[in-house]
A and B are shown apart, each in its own frame.
Chain A
């Protein structure tokens, strides 16, 4: 038999093997090593640094969901933050009632999915800009409703209780570390779930309605049902992410789930690479780290008391950098960071042989 470790190409001989996710042993091992690295990483970081990783993980889950709806199924959604909000408020209502977090998370996903299904209904009739308006309408209705509901404290802070797991109390010192591991596990689980879906009829159906919904119809699949499924599944991921965000910030406030956040999630998906699984992690990581660095830089500028013609350069820096990066990506690398990753990977696939 061939030495599987020296394998640089695809020598699959059975359909079962062809259906497997990793082309080579090396790829699988590299991924496992990387996951192992992520598991020990927080032990070497400060609480604030772990908090940033927490945000990246949680946003990755929401962006993965957005990629399902918009990237894979091609249904534009500019209300993903509202679906996160639905999940967050589900957590804000269920957690104080005593439901443990590991039940709150799937419940938040299901409420998200339910609203995703409803919001998806216009996608049966309209496309493109009109669908964008429909999802925007949901975002607006969500914000307005929360702002007027006494049950949801009219958008003001709704605290979440402390959690515990198997007698392990999560307190101030280990809060961010705890949610790092929970978010990490949830992200790996949900990513694996979707990666599996991609090699089954559910995944193919998403791409089919994106590429050609007439032909999808001729294949015997109901394009309408597939679109509703794409919305529901994408919103499920958002709902779970919203609940995690709620636990992470110990409270739910409407500001965390506004239209601006929806745009941020869309930007993350585009920068990472729309319609790619890996891009769902690269985009949030890149934009969050950029934001942190710009914040540090702007604090530095503030400390130096530097200003140009009375303009507050420091506070303008973060939104400017964000906008600039998105424009640069749209113009120069519309396929996103995924494309860079692809190039690097194909280099290492043949390494150490070069030709």
Chain B
């Protein structure tokens, strides 16, 4: 059984179909990429999986459970985390606080314990702080720990966005163009992080425009165009597909 199964999903915005009859299956531990021109429906697909939009038709199963109509927080609690394409961080908080927010549902103490900051609350904060520090080390964000997110350069904010999703300790990680607008060096770092995340056993769905990167690191690739899956398979199969070459004419060199 696939860890994530998107079955025949259709999503419309006022009559315009952003997704029509999209199906997708991802196995545990896979790194699956979604490519396609701008406006193809890639972000919409992630929105449907993470519960921000609910499809008109079709259903979505995660580890055998139907999550089609659950709210985003309920889906996050089941182990799906997401890094947004348009950075959606808490800009008035520090990097550390942003990541601690990802531990929200893992922090188990009551209001009174929190107000007295005693016993359970202190222990849980320290335990989760340790975990967050591991993510900070891993994503090489040490110099920015106490910096306000709003003041950080774009490339670093992109990295914090991924780090925060990772701090949720997800089973499935959805990455929406995590390398867009980055310098070559930053991109290489991000590729390294993604490969390492996958190596640790987390399933990854990646949306990425750089075909070189996609072909290099993906186990499988889905190609979306006009809200439909036009090709699917291993990178080298997809690259040879004539419909893909057609869809990418003029879009990618």
Spell out A's residues near B (CB within 8 Å): 15-16, 18-19, 193-194, 196-197, 199-202, 204-205, 207-208, 210-212, 214-223
Contact = CB atoms under 8 A, between A and B. Distances in A.
Given A16-B126, A217-B73, A204 B97 contact: yes
B16 interface: no
Given A19-B125, A201-B114, A204-B101, A211 B107 contact: no
Nearest to B50: A218
Nearest to A199: B117
Contacts of A197: 111, 114-115
Contact of A218 (B72, B92, B116, B133): B72
B40 to A, nearest CB: 22
Contacts of A214: 52, 72, 88
Contact of B104 (A194, A199, A204): A204
Contacts of A212: 88-91
B204 interface: no
A15 B129 contact: yes
Interface string B82-113: 10100011111100010011111101010100
A199 B130 CA distance: 15
B contact patch SS: helix
A197 B107 CA distance: 13
Interface centre among A204, A207, A219, A223 (most CB of B within 10 A): A219
A15 B101 contact: no
B35 to A, nearest CB: 23
B82 A200 contact: no
Interface of B: 50, 52, 71-73, 76-77, 81-82, 84, 88-93, 97, 100-105, 107, 109, 111, 114-117, 121-122, 125-126, 129-130, 133, 164, 168
Nearest to A205: B104
Contacts of B73: 217-223
Nearest to B165: A218
Contact of A207 (B84, B88, B92, B130): B92
26 contacts: A15-B130, A19-B122, A19-B126, A196-B114, A197-B114, A199-B117, A199-B125, A200-B109, A200-B121, A201-B101, A201-B104, A201-B107, A201-B114, A208-B90, A208-B101, A210-B92, A211-B90, A212-B89, A212-B91, A215-B84, A215-B90, A219-B101, A219-B104, A219-B105, A220-B102, A222-B71
A205 to B, nearest CB: 7
B101 A200 contact: no
Given A200-B114, A201-B107, A218-B50, 18 more contacts: A15-B133, A16-B122, A16-B126, A18-B129, A197-B111, A200-B125, A201-B104, A204-B101, A204-B104, A207-B92, A208-B101, A211-B93, A212-B88, A212-B89, A216-B101, A217-B71, A219-B76, A219-B105
Contacts of B76: 217-220
Nearest to A215: B88
Contacts of A200: 107, 109, 114, 117, 121, 125
Nearest to B170: A220
Nearest to B79: A220
A218 B71 CA distance: 9
A contact patch SS: helix
Contacts of A218: 50, 72-73, 76, 81-82, 84, 88
Instruction: Sort A-B residue pairs by CB-CB distance and give the 5 closest, nearest first.
Output: A220-B76, A200-B114, A196-B117, A217-B72, A211-B90
B62 to A, nearest CB: 14
B51 to A, nearest CB: 8
Interface centre among A204, A215, A220 (most CB of B within 10 A): A220
Nearest to A222: B73
A74 B48 CA distance: 28
A111 B166 CA distance: 41
A80 B111 CA distance: 22
A220 B109 contact: no
Given A217-B72, A218-B72, A202 B100 contact: no
Nearest to A211: B90
Contacts of B88: 212, 214-215, 218
B168 A215 contact: no
A220 B105 contact: yes
A222 B105 CA distance: 10
Contacts of B100: 201, 204
A211 B84 contact: no
A221 B133 CA distance: 21
A199 B90 CA distance: 16
B176 to A, nearest CB: 12
A189 B228 CA distance: 59
Nearest to B161: A215
Contacts of B168: 219-220
A205 B111 contact: no
Contacts of A222: 71, 73
Contact of A211 (B50, B92, B103, B126): B92
A202 B110 CA distance: 9
Contacts of A194: 115
Interface centre among A19, A205, A215, A217 (most CB of B within 10 A): A215
A35 B7 CA distance: 64
B91 A211 contact: yes
Contacts of A18: 129
